[in-house]
Structure 1
Amino acid sequence: MKSLHESSIIIDGLNTSRFERTVFEDMRRGGITAANCTVAYWENFEKTVDNIAQMKKQIRDNSEMLTLIRNTEDILRAKKEKRVGVILGFQNTHAFEDNLGYIEAFADMGVRVAQLCYNTQNLVGTGCYERDGGLSGFGREVIAEMNRVGIMVDLSHVGAKTSSEAIAASTKPVCYSHCLPSGLKEHPRNKSDEQLKEIADAGGFVGVTMFAPFLKRGIEATVDDYIEAIDYVVNLVGEDVVGIGTDFTQGYSVDFFDRITHDKGRYRRLTNFGQVINPEGIRTIGEFPNLTAAMERAGWSEGRIRKIMGENWVRVFREVWGA
């Protein structure tokens, strides 16, 4: 008889690891059905196309264990075929440059999730590490076009004002693909109870991250601390609009963290994470079954576990991506 983890759809709403065969092998070892895999931060249109081309080559070269996800049927197929589904995602709309036509072009390439801003200001709005001027007029056009072509709006690293205006502007559900509640730890990247309720009340979605610097106990955290954070959000907004968004950075060295904590990867320092260690019990993607086990240990029902491990993501993706 299959375990609950083996039989469940497991979706990681944000994974930004160093994508290579060893990471993909660990994703399959962990039972991942599909993951939103970051292919752009501050890259322009041309470099982002190159990143997508490289990822698609990896999918072809490792087709026995990988498949590209374009719709929710592809997720169900990946589960059936025991392959890992790769969802192409951006952590910034910088790659759209100032050309709305690029949005549909990226959708045609397979991009299905795009975060509006990565930490700081861009043409669309403002990130969470500086004074927030809100959503620009161009930003409203960007959201309308993302809604039209079926790219999900992600607000994880976006400033509070820009987020609120984006939630109001979008006609499709938006998400925090990877965040934690500031009710457990104050941090510019964490979301207040009000922000979490706001996105849920508008039909949006919350992916809860396990990135240790944002957890209450930091690098001392365990998988049970991660469960506490998920439970906090569920108690606030309900179990139907919450999922997993680990923000795994597997395979990267300190140079990676140095880059992502500076504006555009090379200018002023925005924050300092210090030592980054994933919670004990889920240090690697291959340990994902320990997360399901921790949920069972916490006394969660099978229905809740299945929803949060992946079924909720499938439902909201279907709403955004269409049939």
Structure 2
Amino acid sequence: MNETELHQDSIVIDGLIIAKWGRELFEDMRKGGLTAANCTVSVWEDFQDTVDNIVMVNELIEDNSDLVMKVKTTADIRKAKELGKTGIIMGFQNAHAFEDQLGYIQIFKDLGVGVVQMCYNTQNLIGTGCYERDGGLSGFGREVVAEMNRVGIMCDLSHVGSKTSEEVILESRMPVCYSHCLPSGLKEHPRNKSDEELKFIADHGGFVGVTMFTPFLKKGVDATIDDYVEAIAYIVDIVGEDQVGIGTDFTQGQDKAFFDMLTHDKGYARELTRFGKIVNPEGIRTVGEFPNLTGALLRNGFSEELTRKIMGENWLRVLGEVWGE
């Protein structure tokens, strides 16, 4: 089958989207043939503000139910494929919303949250982010990991410090993930993961979603979709073809205030990093251009079977392991 048919036939899952919510995004998801995406509903927000975000997202999904549906299980993701809709997996990029209450983890699972990152760039009650001296996983953090395992929420370590990540990987009874990362073997950056870190998560049953966020790619803003595929191939060589997927980190539609919030501790305090110009790789500038990625994988020598795995089948399997359904 040709690349268009293959894309249309495949399960396509994006492990991380933090774009501006709205019908325009949902239309682009359908244009891109996305079966499901882990969409961020909490970064620096506390419990109440995160619940308010979920209320807003629930209303948006309801108002645009011709295009999208909420998904809580892998059966829901398959249903979305069948119906020609995009499944919305709600996810956090920080566990701050759990506050210091283990009971909140079950509450958020019941609301439809399927993936939670342990820390976002800096220290919280659980552990340390990638922009600070890393003190590792706290005692409370160990309880959080156990409770996330119990209720079936995946632990994400994309913005988490190296030591904290290692200790979560060892602590968790379920597969954990870097939902959106790139290899430091191609470019040194605090957000990129070393060959050793990539191998370590994979050796312990974990998963790697590969991002295309250009500040972390070798050629930066000059990167193309083929440079993104190079990074995917690099990671496949380290972790094998069954533990790699896509995690674009699409931010389309977001404004300067949004990036200011992301790059400052707690959303307002000290500046942690500067990204400079934000532009996605040429060939996949928008979610709607997702079919180009299937084409680029095939063009760069990936088999049809491996392309299907990377585009979504691997994510589907590992989410099923964590969610238990």
TM-score range, shorter chain: over 0.9
Partner residue in 2 for 1:133: 135
1:35-65 Cα distance to aligned partner (Å, 9 max, x none): 0000000101001001011101111111111
Say whether 1:21 aligns with 2:32: no
2: CA distance between counterparts of 1:170 and 1:18?
32
1:164-194 Cα distance to aligned partner (Å, 9 max, x none): 0000000000000000000000000000000
The alpha carbon displacement at 1:296 in A equals: 1.0
Partner residue in 2 for 1:182: 184
2: CA distance between counterparts of 1:195 and 1:296?
27
Structure 1 counterpart of 2:245, which letter? G
The alpha carbon displacement at 1:284 in A equals: 0.4
Q: The residue matched to 1:6 in structure 2 has which SS?
A: helix
1: CA distance between counterparts of 2:68 and 2:58?
10
2: CA distance between counterparts of 1:97 and 1:244?
29
Partner residue in 2 for 1:56: 58
Q: The residue matched to 2:60 in structure 1 has which SS?
A: helix
Match of 2:157 among 155, 158, 162: 155
The alpha carbon displacement at 1:207 in A equals: 0.1
5+ residue gaps in structure 2?
none
Match of 2:148 among 146, 149, 156: 146
2: CA distance between counterparts of 1:40 and 1:300?
35
Partner residue in 1 for 2:197: 195
1:279-313 Cα distance to aligned partner (Å, 9 max, x none): 00000000000100001111210000000000000
1: CA distance between counterparts of 2:315 and 2:129?
24
1:79-134 Cα distance to aligned partner (Å, 9 max, x none): 01000100000000000000000000000101000000000000000000010000
Match of 2:85 among 83, 89, 92: 83
Partner residue in 1 for 2:76: 74
TM-score (norm 2): 0.99
Partner residue in 2 for 1:271: 273
Q: The residue matched to 1:36 in structure 2 has which SS?
A: strand
Match of 1:206 among 208, 212, 218: 208
Runs of 4+ in 1 over 2 A off after TM superposition: none
2: CA distance between counterparts of 1:262 and 1:105?
28
Partner residue in 1 for 2:116: 114
Say whether 1:238 aligns with 2:240: yes
Say whether 1:321 aligns with 2:323: yes
Partner residue in 2 for 1:301: 303
The root-mean-square deviation of aligned C-alpha atoms, in Å, is 0.7
Q: The residue matched to 1:3 in structure 2 has which SS?
A: helix
2: CA distance between counterparts of 1:27 and 1:121?
33
1:208-246 Cα distance to aligned partner (Å, 9 max, x none): 000000000000000000000000000111010000000
Structure 1 counterpart of 2:52, which letter? D
5+ residue gaps in structure 1?
none
2: CA distance between counterparts of 1:62 and 1:256?
24
Say whether 1:287 aligns with 2:285: no
1: CA distance between counterparts of 2:187 and 2:266?
26
2: CA distance between counterparts of 1:277 and 1:67?
28
Partner residue in 1 for 2:259: 257
2: CA distance between counterparts of 1:229 and 1:24?
27
2: CA distance between counterparts of 1:107 and 1:256?
26
2: CA distance between counterparts of 1:254 and 1:63?
30
TM-score (norm 1): 0.99
Partner residue in 1 for 2:14: 12
Structure 2 counterpart of 1:40, which letter? S
1: CA distance between counterparts of 2:209 and 2:63?
30
The alpha carbon displacement at 1:259 in A equals: 1.5
Structure 1 counterpart of 2:42, which letter? A
Paired positions, count: 323
Q: The residue matched to 2:121 in structure 1 has which SS?
A: coil
The alpha carbon displacement at 1:138 in A equals: 0.2
